[in-house]
Chain A
Amino acid sequence: MAGLLQVEGLRRRFGSVVALDGLTFDVPAGEVVGFLGPNGAGKTTTMRAIFGLTDLDGGTVRWNGASVSQADRRAFGYMPEERGLYPGMLVGEQVEYLGRLHGLSRAESARETAGWLERLDIATRRGDKVETLSHGNQQRVQLAAALVHAPELLVLDEPLSGLDPTGIDAIGRVLVDQARSGCCVLFSSHQLDLVEDLCDRVVIIDHGRLVVAGTVDDLATSGARRLQVRVEGRRDAEWAERLPGVRVSELSGGAVRLLLDDDTDSDEVLRAAMTAGRVTEFSFTRRRLSEVFREALA
């Protein structure tokens, strides 16, 4: 299915640094898409390009098949990495003002502002200046500002950074609900476990190029078979390293995660584990997003 948002061959160079090098991907409607990549991969530049906030050397951003216009951008919601709010402005007025800039009437904006501040649990701070709020609450105000006009596309740059678990849960629920109501949601994060929990699909980029894209389920089940083995009293993986067709992927908390070649017999692995000690866990597992990420960038 063609996505509503289409990023096609974006190129951007800052002096000698190549920020985007022909980047292409889609964001389908009704899905939460995680936008991943190491620092300097080009995520923020891509997001800014969607809003026309950076000049491009090449490529196009399309919305419903046509180049993005100023009118389209009014229907988008944006939360930049470096939060942008007027520090001395009152919370309620700030969100209302941004709602009006996105085309809402005075009454609509006031109503939606009240609703979002309530939902994000900051209604009691409506009459306070933004600068008096904690980091987490400022983040909620920023999210309310991005959502107040019921955007068709929501682009969030690191929306979960610096939040406590309660804040992450609250914002995560909002993102999923937005997607389920038909909105395209694209957000970047380095918290891969959270991305795995929240996202339907991920796009991984590096050096301004697409590396991997797909649904979380497809990526989790693709690639080599994975075994997680725990041998009592052993915190190393020496017993597995000598096995043919087996690679050690990860060693954590006494459990060894192994990658098996297609023709490798898992019974051979079990026998080797039993030789090393008493086996307390032996199971096939899905590929974690952190593993997908590391393998994609290896």
Chain B
Amino acid sequence: MKIVGVVAVVAVVLSLRIALYRARRRRRRDGGGGRPARRSLDLPTLESALGDVGLVAGREIRERVRGRIFRIGTLVILVAVAAVIVIPTLDKTTTLPQQKVGVVGTLSPQVRQVVEVAGRATREKVVLAGESSRQSAAAALRSGKLDVVIVNSTEMLVDHPLGSSKSHADVPFVDTVAEYLGVLQAYERAGLTTAQRAVVSGARPVPVTSLTPGGKSAVQTTSVIGLVLLFIMLTQYCTWTLIGVLQEKSSRVVEVLLSTVRPIQLLGGKVLGIGLVAMGQAALIVGVALAIGAAVGSDLLHGAAPIAVLAELLWLLLGYAFYSWVYAAAGSTAERQDQVQTLALPLSLPVLFGYVYSITVASSGGTPSLFFKVLAYFPPTAPFCMSVLVGLRQATWWEFLASTLLSLAGTVAVAVFAARIYRRAVLRTGGRVRLAELVGRPTAGRRP
């Protein structure tokens, strides 16, 4: 059923794409040159609240969201995230064996709980079916419609001796249920009150600690997936900023823009616009992931995993706020598109370092080193390291807050520095501007 659902969603998406493509072709055939302007994406609140910065941000949002690369990229990420969440659950349901359990007499809540716990413990999917009498249950057992029968919570029937090749009953499951039913009978004979029974029934096994690390927990897996997405999205959005600034400079449109708005307004609008698109895309992905996870009952989004996901979302925002200014300033020093790689490589090194180190720590699941914890307070690496600490429950709320505040302070400092470089570099043409020419005091000149 789940496969059918996934196929249906894919079919609907593909149909929509084909319909849009055909409509576009038809429009072009009917005379593309004179076609009316596309309906613009209205962002009046943003534009009226923030003035010129809002206008610049609004243009960035419109142009990015309309871009084919953005739409296809979002779709690809959504499909990948859905696949990561859905595929393990498909695997789980197809391989999980089933025990059809017939019940004669009333099934008390305690007995139902016993059966469910035994099913989980022995990795059996349990299907309960009421039977009117012992005879009808025995007949169903013989015909193979049932694997096991519980009679009045005091007896269990199987078709063949346990462990024989003809038996359909799962031995560990039957043994576990039989043992628990016996314990329940013992409670009754001991004359325990309801409250006492509840206490005894609620007993949990003591924790078992392994001296060697075992496989990944669901939270760890979620944390690693989140880190991969965080790295991809952070790099992508910051590169957008770099290329956006560079394109405005190389197309000379920046000269027209700066004849009416201040450099900081133009730069701030660009960073804000791309940031809002980034957060929109990230929120969409997280929302879809949570919805799909809840729908298919994925282990990846249980327990502390949603907190790890939300922490990564926040750190995507903080990481973008920090790095976007750096990338924008770098973009203003370039002249041509082919310089993007040269500029982006050194900037991506701290991102890459934080990412690789964090993936290593998150995958191992061990206690992070002191050095790693220190890096969680250093703005360039905090987005990755603090996300991992949250996922591993190694950070208290005040440590998280301290790291956030440090990151914000770092962002303000970087923004001031970047705006200064941007103002000096973005109108200079005729080759790449060297950083040394920009960081010192101007030798001459003032704005008229």
Contact = CB atoms under 8 A, between A and B. Distances in A.
A145 B256 CA distance: 9
A61 interface: yes
A180 interface: no
Contact of B255 (A84, A98, A101): A84
Contacts of B33: 124-125, 128
Interface in A82-101: 82-93, 97-98, 100-101
B52 interface: yes
Contacts of B175: none
A70 B266 CA distance: 14
A265 B416 CA distance: 73
A92 B247 CA distance: 20
7 contacts: A60-B448, A70-B262, A84-B251, A85-B251, A85-B253, A124-B33, A145-B256
Contact of A127 (B37, B47, B259): B37
Of the candidates A51, A53, A91, the one having the most CB atoms from chain B within 10 angstroms of its own CB is A53
Contacts of A55: 442, 444-447
A86 B243 CA distance: 13
B36 interface: yes
B38 interface: yes
A59 B259 CA distance: 19
Interface residues of A, number: 49
A57 B445 CA distance: 4
B448 A73 contact: no
A43 interface: no
Given A100-B55, A102-B260, A124-B33, A87 B446 contact: no
B448 A52 contact: yes
A48 to B, nearest CB: 8
A190 interface: no
A56 B253 contact: no
B258 A53 contact: yes
A127 B258 contact: no
A25 interface: no
B183 interface: no
B427 interface: yes
Interface string A66-80: 011010011010111
A84 B256 contact: yes
A80 B252 contact: yes
A-B residue pairs, 8 tightest by C-beta? A55-B445, A84-B252, A84-B253, A51-B259, A84-B256, A127-B37, A78-B259, A92-B37
B251 A54 contact: no
Contacts of B260: 73-74, 76, 98, 101-102
A91 to B, nearest CB: 8
Contacts of B40: 93
B258 A51 contact: yes
A56 B446 contact: yes
A226 interface: no
B90 interface: no
B261 interface: yes
B55 A97 contact: yes
A109 B248 CA distance: 22
B254 interface: yes
Contacts of A52: 258-259, 447-448
Contact of B447 (A56, A101, A125): A56
Chain A interface mostly helix, strand, loop or mixed? Answer: mixed
B166 interface: no
A216 to B, nearest CB: 28
Contacts of A91: 37
A163 to B, nearest CB: 18
Contacts of B5: none
A150 B232 CA distance: 45
Contact of A90 (B38, B47, B253, B259): B38
B427 A89 contact: no
A230 interface: no
B189 interface: no
B270 interface: no
A10 interface: yes
Nearest to B269: A101
Contacts of A90: 37-38
A67 B447 CA distance: 11
Interface string B25-47: 00000001111111010001001
B63 interface: yes
B445 A101 contact: no
B257 interface: yes
Nearest to A10: B448
Given A85-B251, A89-B63, A126-B36, A76 B445 contact: no
Most buried by B among A57, A60, A67, A86: A86
Given A68-B448, A93-B40, A53 B253 contact: no
A84 B254 contact: yes
B100 interface: no
Contacts of A124: 33-34
A204 B309 CA distance: 66
Contacts of A213: none
Interface in B152-201: none
A54 B427 contact: yes
A56 B63 contact: no
B214 to A, nearest CB: 52
Contacts of B255: 48, 53, 78, 80, 82, 84
A126 B37 contact: yes
Contacts of B258: 51-53
A22 to B, nearest CB: 14
A127 B38 contact: yes
Nearest to A59: B448
B448 A83 contact: no
Contacts of A287: none
A243 B113 CA distance: 126
A214 to B, nearest CB: 25
B371 to A, nearest CB: 45
Given A53-B259, A56-B446, A97-B55, 18 more contacts: A49-B448, A55-B444, A56-B445, A60-B448, A67-B448, A84-B253, A84-B257, A86-B247, A86-B248, A91-B37, A98-B257, A101-B257, A106-B44, A124-B33, A125-B33, A126-B37, A128-B33, A145-B256
A61 B448 contact: yes
Given A84-B254, A86-B253, A76 B444 contact: no
Interface string B64-87: 000000000000000000000000
